[in-house]
């Protein structure tokens, strides 16, 4: 067991798209003294961890990549998980920042020390052998909004005797061929993995609490000619990317101001159902009763055919109890199973990491956010937490486009903040409460007409106070404009 203190300028939590982007852009800006702490065994974040069968991106490949590292080699319109993971790793390798990534190491605690104006960050290797403490000028959290699996609180779940795992922690050692499998949840992960399980399992019982709107997916591989054009013809890939971006941004008015337009999506969803499912009862069971877009609109050509297959049962009555070898539904029907797959999503508005970040006055982020919900200035900095920068913070996620656009916008802001601190000779910056409140009030005001508030569904976008503190309620370029430079006038700066 070793323990020492290491001084660094910047400590970045997480080596996914967000953390790697921060590392690459800080490095380019000459802010080279940083360390990236990653608990997983490799970089890539969600795209390294989520290896469930069928895992693919539901944002088109051309947009789901860094603007500074276009990839002419994407195999398909929607990239599979492994390809995205390899892409992130390749970009990080090429940028030469992997030497500052510490793998298989978890951040235990981050505490702001007012005396030294440093974040004191304690970390430990996952094998428990090494502990290390860092003193960092800035703390940049890229830990991801969808990284901590959320497990359902169902009677008897711990008594289950067979193999069980969450979709984001797939156990590839379990042979699923011919097995009786239960899947709890019908979200973005489940609709990708169930069609794969259906092909090999003896039986799959899918426990649906709420159906989703699911529209067809433009699924195809890029041709050799397209790939050649992406690689060799100047501007082609940027033009395709811009086209995808514009198409997705074109949907924002429907989400944000005129949700009635989303009836068109519902029509597409209903056609998708009608095409694959003949049984009227099953059709009714998978048809949502809320406005499309209220929950994330999903894309799949495989889900409804899988659900309509002979070896798949959709159970909609709810789960009463889980027993060592079975699940009993609320109609009293008991179904024996060998494997239980939990596809119930993530802790989003109650992220465990918030309990491990302690700001001024000894208050944790979880305590502060516990009062009114997640609040930050521009989704990135937080009053009471000097020099803390959160990538994909409150109200920065998207229901319609690529989160990488948001990540890059925030990273620009953070790099400019680092430059500003140096230029102005400041030890610390913290947004004023007025600036933070004004920002959040405005975001919530703009949230009111959106489908996420008016759409008539319960979703994980909304917190326990009834506020959507997850999504950005507008165009992504507006968000980028807001973060185009570090606005020191909205901060209190402490001289070095």
Instruction: Give me the residue whose beta carbon is nearest to ligand N01.
Output: 187
3-state secondary structure of 490: helix
Polymer length in residues for the chain: 496
Binding of ligand N01 by 152 (CB under 6 A): yes
Of 23, 36, 37, 188, which lies in the binding site for ligand N01, with binding defined by CB under 6 A?
188
373 part of the interface to ligand N01, by CB under 6 A: no
According to DSSP, the residues that pair with 80 across neighbouring strands are: 56
Q: Does 206 bind ligand N01 (CB under 6 A)?
A: no
Nearer to ligand N01, 247 or 481 (CB): 247
Count of residues engaged in binding ligand N01, rule: CB under 6 A: 23
Write the interaction track for ligand N01 spanning residues 344-363; mark x where CB under 6 A is met and - where it is not: xxx-----------------
Give the phi and the psi of residue 49 in degrees, each rounded to 5.
-85, -40
Determine if 184 is a binding residue for ligand N01 (CB under 6 A): yes
282-321 mask for ligand N01 (x: CB under 6 A)? --------------x-------------------------
Query: Near ligand N01 by CB under 6 A, which window of 118-126, 173-181, 225-233, 337-345?
Result: 337-345
Q: Return the range that interacts with ligand N01 (CB under 6 A); candidates 27-35, 133-141, 343-351, 416-424.
A: 343-351
Contact by Cβ (8 Å): 402, 59: yes
DSSP H or E stretch at residue 221: none
Q: Is 470 in the site for ligand N01 (CB under 6 A)?
A: no
Contact call for residue 343 and ligand N01 (CB under 6 A): yes
Q: Does 401 bind ligand N01 (CB under 6 A)?
A: no
Nearer to ligand N01, 55 or 240 (CB): 55
Residue 65 CB, nearest approach to ligand N01 (Å): 13
Query: Smallest distance from the beta carbon of 460 to ligand N01, in angstroms?
Result: 5
Q: Per-residue string for binding with ligand N01, 208-247, x by CB under 6 A? A: -xx-------------------------------------
Taking the C-alpha atoms of residue 392 and residue 411, their distance in angstroms, rounded to an integer, is: 10
| 190 touching ligand N01, by CB under 6 A | yes
Q: How many CB atoms are closer than 10 A to CB 479?
A: 20
Q: Is 47 in the site for ligand N01 (CB under 6 A)?
A: no
Asked if 185 is part of the footprint of ligand N01 (rule: CB under 6 A), the reply reads yes
CB-CB contact of 25 with 415 (8 Å) = yes
Output the CA torsion sign for 46, 48, 53, 54: positive
**Beta-strand (E) ranges in 269-378?**
298-299, 312-315, 319-323, 326-329, 334-336, 339-342, 357-358
Closer to ligand N01 at the Cβ: 63 or 277? 63
**CA-wise closest residue to 66 among 47, 39, 51, 38:** 47
Q: Which strand (E) or helix (H) includes residue 411?
A: helix 403-424
Name the DSSP letter for residue 152: P
Q: Would the CA dihedral through 318, 373, 406, 50 be positive or negative? A: negative
| Residues near 240 by beta carbon (within 8 Å), at least 6 away in sequence | 62, 230
Q: How is 204-215 classified by DSSP, letter by letter?
A: EEEE-SS---EE
End-to-end C-alpha distance for the chain, whole angstroms? 34
- Of the residues 92, 146, 428, 453, which one makes contact with ligand N01 according to CB under 6 A: 146
340 binding ligand N01? (CB under 6 A) = no
CB atoms within 10 A of CB 178: 10
The residues in 50-69 that bind ligand N01, with binding defined as CB under 6 A, are 56-59
Identify which of residues 58 and 73 has a Cβ nearer to ligand N01 in the complex.
58
Task: By CB under 6 A, name the binding residues for ligand N01.
Answer: 56-59, 146, 152, 167, 184-190, 207, 209-210, 296, 343-346, 460
């Amino acid at each position: 067991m070793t323990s020492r203190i290491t001084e660094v300028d910047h400590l970045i939590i997480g080596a996914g798209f967000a953390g790697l982007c921060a590392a690459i852009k800080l490095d380019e800006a000459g802010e080279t003294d940083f360390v990236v702490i990653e608990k997983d065994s490799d970089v890539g974040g969600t795209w390294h961890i989520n290896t469930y069968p069928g895992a693919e991106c539901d944002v088109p490949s051309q947009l789901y990549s860094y603007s500074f590292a276009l990839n002419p080699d994407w195999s398909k319109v929607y990239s599979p998980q492994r390809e995205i993971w390899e892409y992130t790793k390749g970009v990080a390798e090429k940028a030469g920042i992997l030497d500052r990534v510490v793998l298989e190491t978890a951040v235990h605690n981050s505490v702001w020390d007012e005396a030294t104006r440093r974040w004191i960050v304690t970390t430990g290797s996952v094998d428990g052998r090494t502990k290390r403490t860092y003193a960092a000028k800035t703390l940049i959290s890229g830990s991801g909004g969808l990284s901590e699996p959320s497990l359902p609180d169902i009677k008897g779940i711990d008594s289950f005797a067979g193999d069980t795992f969450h979709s984001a922690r797939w156990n590839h050692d379990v042979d699923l061929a011919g097995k009786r499998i239960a899947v709890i949840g019908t979200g973005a992960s489940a609709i990708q993995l169930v069609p794969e399980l259906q092909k090999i399992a003896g039986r799959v019982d899918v426990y649906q609490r709420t159906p989703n709107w699911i529209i067809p997916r433009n699924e195809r591989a890029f041709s050799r000619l397209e790939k050649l054009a992406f690689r060799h013809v100047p501007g082609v890939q940027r033009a395709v990317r811009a086209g995808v971006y514009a198409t997705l941004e074109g949907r924002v008015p429907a989400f944000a101001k005129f949700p009635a337009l989303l009836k068109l999506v519902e029509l597409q969803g209903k056609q998708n159902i009608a095409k694959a499912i003949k049984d009227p009862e099953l059709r009714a069971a998978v048809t949502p009763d809320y406005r499309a877009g209220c929950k994330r609109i999903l894309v799949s050509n495989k889900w409804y055919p899988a659900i309509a297959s002979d070896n798949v049962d959709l159970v909609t009555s709810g789960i009463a109890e889980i027993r060592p070898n079975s699940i009993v539904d609320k109609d009293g029907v008991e179904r024996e199973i060998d494997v239980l797959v939990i596809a119930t999503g993530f802790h989003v508005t109650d992220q465990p990491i918030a309990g491990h970040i302690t700001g001024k006055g000894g208050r944790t982020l979880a305590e502060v956010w516990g009062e009114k919900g997640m609040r930050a200035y521009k989704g990135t900095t937080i009053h009471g937490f000097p020099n803390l920068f959160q990538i994909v913070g409150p109200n920065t996620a998207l229901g319609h486009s690529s989160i990488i656009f948001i990540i890059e916008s925030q990273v620009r802001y953070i790099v400019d903040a680092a430059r500003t601190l140096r230029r102005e000779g400041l030890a610390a910056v913290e947004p004023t409460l007025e600036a933070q409140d004004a920002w959040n009030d405005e975001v919530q005001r703009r949230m009111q007409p959106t489908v996420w508030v008016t759409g008539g569904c319960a979703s994980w976008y909304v917190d326990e106070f009834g506020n959507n503190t997850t999504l950005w309620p507008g165009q992504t370029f507006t968000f980028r404009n807001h973060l185009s430079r570090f606005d020191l006038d909205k901060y209190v700066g402490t001289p070095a």
